[in-house]
Amino acid sequence: MIILGIETSCDETAAAICEDGIIKASVLSSQSIHNLYGGVVPEMASREHERLLNGIVSKALVKAKIEKNQIDGIAVTHGPGLSGALLTGVSFAKGFGLGLDIPIIPINHLEAHIYANFMADPTLKYPFVCLLVSGGHTQIWLIKELGQYALMGETRDDAAGEAFDKGARILGLGYPGGPEIEKLAKGGNIEKVVFPKALMGKKSLEFSFSGLKTSLLYYMDSFQEDEQLSKSDVAASYEYAIVSTLVEKVKRAVIQSEVNTCVIAGGVAANQSLRKRLKETLIDKKILFPDLRFCTDNAAMIAFLGEIKFKNNFKNDLSFAIYPNLKLG
Ligand code: KG4
Ligand code: ZN
């Protein structure tokens, strides 16, 4: 079975081909135009998707050596995300699918992030705990089986990715902030600045990152670099505070749910410190991360989950809408 995946929920225009669970091509264009503004400008994102999508889909087909009439179905993100951006992808998918007379499979972007872990390890078994950490979400889920998800905890305010992005802006770094802070933090001393870790009460599985961001803002007001303290130390301490909270809550969730496997999903899963510290903390558990290129937004995970959905009692109904606030579970 051959599935074309399309992802346009935010600022990545992406297409991929999945054939029988194997990714044959994954093409992506990160819209660098937003770098000028320090964050994604929704209207520009939609226009860029519109401009780029046709070419990206053609590229994916060529790369996978597939003719369009060989495609069995099209999987497309229909939420959550920016409404204009989602509309561009969904309209394209519906038009393309109608022309080819093939089904269109609406995909929840968050669910696709989680299922990217099955691409990394097809032997992954239910149930497992998932830490979903992206630019808009920080949640812990108990994944019981396909379509059966229980929310164990989530952030009360900012997402972890947002804490990286906003922190990077305060530190005068570029967007997206996660990779920028990670780079600057290398060689920095995590003990130089003590940033607050919120909601650390014994059983809590909730997160809060807005206070951390504010404390960085105040800290930088009077910050002066010298031999004792560098910006790199500040970045390392800030990253340490975010990662420590994530690791502690995941550990609690794994203990509380009595599972043996834990997977990480979403853009922040690319963070090396998070990967390392989770492995060090949950030594006797199976810890899984998607391939680095499939942590941040991509269409491979959309095509991959599309194939799974297509094979599980899928009913084609072209009337589906976009849902900018689509939830999981
Ligand atoms: O999943 P994603 O690509 O988009 C959303 O669905 O939101 O996640 C993007 C988020 C951004 O906030 C970005 O700063 C963060 O993931 N991110 C990272 C790293 N790479 C991306 N955060 C920390 N370390 C990284 N290496
Ligand atoms: Zn995402």
User: Which positions of the chain have pLDDT values less than 50?
Assistant: none
pTM of the predicted model as reported, rounded to 2 decimal places = 0.97
Ligand nearest to the CA of 136: 1
Would residue 34 count as lying in a domain? Answer: yes
- Say if residue 86 is in the same domain as residue 157: no
- Say if residue 138 is in the same domain as residue 273: yes
Best residue for ligand 1 mutational test, from 296, 298, 302, 325 (most atoms within 8 Å of Cβ): 296
Q: Is the peptide bond before 103 cis (omega within 30 degrees of 0)?
A: no
pLDDT at 311: 97
- Say if residue 155 is in the same domain as residue 304: no
The answer to whether the beta carbons of residues 262 and 286 sit under 8 Å apart is yes
Q: Does the C-beta of 136 come closer than 6 Å to ligand 1?
A: yes
Sheet of 286-288, strands arranged across: 148-154, 138-145, 128-133, 261-265, 286-288
Domain that holds residue 220: 125-292
Would residue 327 count as lying in a domain? Answer: no
What are φ and ψ of residue 279, in 5° steps?
A: -65, -40
Residues within 5 Å of ion ligand 2, judged at the Cβ atom:
134, 297
Q: What is the DSSP letter of 172?
A: T
pLDDT at 80: 98
Would residue 118 count as lying in a domain? Answer: no
Cα of 81 to ligand 1 centre, how many Å? 14
- Say if residue 177 is in the same domain as residue 304: no
Question: How far is it, in rounded angstroms, from Cα 55 to Cα 61?
Answer: 10
Sheet of 12-19, strands arranged across: 22-30, 12-19, 2-7, 73-79, 104-108
Closest by Cα among 297, 310, 299 to 2: 310
Number of structural domains found in the chain: 2
The answer to whether the beta carbons of residues 250 and 140 sit under 8 Å apart is yes
Residue 23 is part of a domain; what is its CATH number? 3.30.420.40
Structure tokens at 113: 């992030």
Q: What is the pLDDT of residues 227-272, one digit of tens each?
A: 899 999 999 999 999 999 999 999 999 999 999 999 999 999 999 9
Would residue 10 count as lying in a domain? Answer: yes
pLDDT at 169: 94
Query: Residue ranges of the alpha helices (H) in 40-159?
Result: 42-64, 83-100, 109-120
- Say if residue 16 is in the same domain as residue 163: no
Indicate which atom in ligand 1 lies nearest the CA of residue 109. Answer: 6
Q: What is the pLDDT of residues 49-92, one digit of tens each?
A: 999 999 999 999 999 999 999 999 999 999 999 999 999 999 99
Q: What is the DSSP letter of 284?
A: T
Would residue 256 count as lying in a domain? Answer: yes
Best residue for ligand 1 mutational test, from 268, 298, 327 (most atoms within 8 Å of Cβ): 268
Would residue 320 count as lying in a domain? Answer: no
Cα of 256 to ligand 2 centre, how many Å? 27
pLDDT at 147: 96
- Say if residue 186 is in the same domain as residue 288: yes
pLDDT at 121: 98
- Say if residue 282 is in the same domain as residue 143: yes
- Say if residue 148 is in the same domain as residue 280: yes
Q: Does the C-beta of 290 come closer than 6 Å to ligand 1?
A: no
Would residue 326 count as lying in a domain? Answer: no
- Say if residue 279 is in the same domain as residue 141: yes
- Say if residue 88 is in the same domain as residue 178: no
Would residue 84 count as lying in a domain? Answer: yes
Question: How far is it, in rounded angstroms, from Cα 140 to Cα 159?
Answer: 12
Best residue for ligand 1 mutational test, from 29, 117, 131, 164 (most atoms within 8 Å of Cβ): 164
Cα of 95 to ligand 1 centre, how many Å? 31
Residue type, 29: S
104-108 and 12-19 as β-strands: parallel, antiparallel, unpaired? unpaired
Question: How far is it, in rounded angstroms, from Cα 114 to Cα 169?
Answer: 28
- Say if residue 170 is in the same domain as residue 232: yes
- Say if residue 54 is in the same domain as residue 166: no
